Structure 1
Amino acid sequence: MPEHDAHDAHDDVITELVVDHREVEELFVRLEGPLSPEDRQDALEHLVAELVRHSVAEEAWIYPAMRDRLDDGNAIADRETAEHHEVELMLKQLEGTDPHSPQSRPVLEALMTAVRGHVAEEERQLFPALRAVYSAEELRDLGDKVRTAKKAAPTRPHPGAPRDQVSRRVMGPFVGLVDRTRDALSGRSV
């Protein structure tokens, strides 16, 4: 299971998101290896929750920051949001399926490919672009906002939910509370 202690309360937003990326990659590697049915189900549930929380936080805070200061920020944020939506649709397909079933394997492989491509692009292009236009203090402030958003974010995919910044900031915590209640009632430990 990924180490959530790797995050530091003083990390800037880029460090925060890179740590998230590494945690997701660790879960991918686990899922690619031999696991017991219980461990595979646990890894898949953690993966779903991590990706949903990460996406909600990025859409609430990072993409608006891109729109605000990057020359082509609107186009980049629109593309990134569309990629998130595709990932969320795949997560919804995986939710509640048997992770050992042959039918789930192609969806999981497509998910891994999509997320790995998304992560590579963010780390190679978008994060350096953000560092170039935001001060260290602003990036730390965004890190605080992203950490707060992830704590309140949903833990399950909701591909039909509104994706705009205001909806993510306002509705995200409510949907997150509902998801965490469902998780507790079902015994899902994410």
Structure 2
Amino acid sequence: MGHGGNVIQELTTDHREVEEIFGKIEMLPPGSKERKDLADQATIELVRHSIAEEAYLYPAVREHIQGGDALADKELEDHAKAEQIMKDLEGCQADDPRFDTLMTQLMSEIRSHVTDEEQNLFPRLEAACTPDALMDLGDKVRRAKKTAPTRPHPSAPDTPPLNKLLAPGAGMVDRLRDAMSGRGKES
């Protein structure tokens, strides 16, 4: 969840961890209960990651990158699509006929989003910000991930200040639900 380094290093490490989970899902046979457990783990990581990006990365993109508003808006649209897919996936078991379709959609959406961030957004942010600013953003992202929700909330605000105010409360409720249900615990 928290890896250290600047914001780009932190988020890139998150990307690799989620891709590793996706790879494990793809290797398992359809209908395997472990696929659902891994999908839940991916969702937890993706939601935390998205909340942190929405709270700190995209405002920095708007502030520091020329044309940053359009860039941040596109990333938020990507998040909204992925979050709705995760919400739909939340209600499916691995043997549900919709599970594989939704999982394929989610992996495609996330892989496209990651490629865009790593090839377009991150280099532009790195060029526009000082190393200290990038390190400070990394610290903020790590703190945000610690209190972020673990479940998709498609109707929740995705821009400051409301997202920063509401996310910790939703995160607390989500973590309580996860603890009670065992969701997100590795087998």
The bucket for the TM-score relative to the shorter chain is over 0.9
Decide whether the 8 Å contact of 1:44 with 1:99 is kept in 2: no
Report the 3-state secondary structure (helix = DSSP H, G, I; strand = E; otherwise coil) of the residue aligned with 1:25.
Answer: helix
What amino acid does structure 1 have at the position aligned with 2:177? R
Decide whether the 8 Å contact of 2:33 with 2:93 is kept in 1: no
Residues in 1 aligned to 2:48 and 2:105: alpha-carbon distance in whole angstroms? 20
Alpha-carbon displacement from aligned partner over 1:28-52 (angstroms, at most 9, x marks no partner) = 1011112583422221110010110
Moved more, 28-37 or 153-162: 28-37
Gaps of 5+ in 1: none
State percent identity of aligned pairs: 46
Report the 3-state secondary structure (helix = DSSP H, G, I; strand = E; otherwise coil) of the residue aligned with 1:142.
Answer: helix
Decide whether the 8 Å contact of 2:93 with 2:99 is kept in 1: yes
Report the 3-state secondary structure (helix = DSSP H, G, I; strand = E; otherwise coil) of the residue aligned with 1:97.
Answer: coil
Partner of 1:14: 8
1:100 to 80, 95, 98: 95
Report the 3-state secondary structure (helix = DSSP H, G, I; strand = E; otherwise coil) of the residue aligned with 2:150.
Answer: coil
1:149 to 144, 149, 158: 144
Partner of 2:60: 65
The number of residues matched between the two structures is 184
Residues in 2 aligned to 1:105 and 1:179: alpha-carbon distance in whole angstroms? 25
1:118 to 97, 100, 113: 113
Report the 3-state secondary structure (helix = DSSP H, G, I; strand = E; otherwise coil) of the residue aligned with 2:97.
Answer: coil
Report the 3-state secondary structure (helix = DSSP H, G, I; strand = E; otherwise coil) of the residue aligned with 1:107.
Answer: helix
Residues in 2 aligned to 1:188 and 1:81: alpha-carbon distance in whole angstroms? 26
Gaps of 5+ in 2: none
Partner of 1:32: 26
TM-score, length basis structure 1: 0.93
RMSD: 1.4
1:55 to 36, 39, 50: 50
Decide whether the 8 Å contact of 2:62 with 2:68 is kept in 1: yes
What amino acid does structure 2 have at the position aligned with 1:137? D
Alpha-carbon displacement from aligned partner over 1:104-159 (angstroms, at most 9, x marks no partner) = 11111111111100000100010000000111111010000000000100000000
- Quote the offset at 1:100 in angstroms: 2.9
Q: Which runs of 4+ in 1 moved over 6 A?
A: none
2:181 to 168, 176, 186: 186
Partner of 1:130: 125
Report the 3-state secondary structure (helix = DSSP H, G, I; strand = E; otherwise coil) of the residue aligned with 1:120.
Answer: helix
Decide whether the 8 Å contact of 1:31 with 1:40 is kept in 2: yes
TM-score, length basis structure 2: 0.94
Decide whether the 8 Å contact of 1:66 with 1:73 is kept in 2: yes
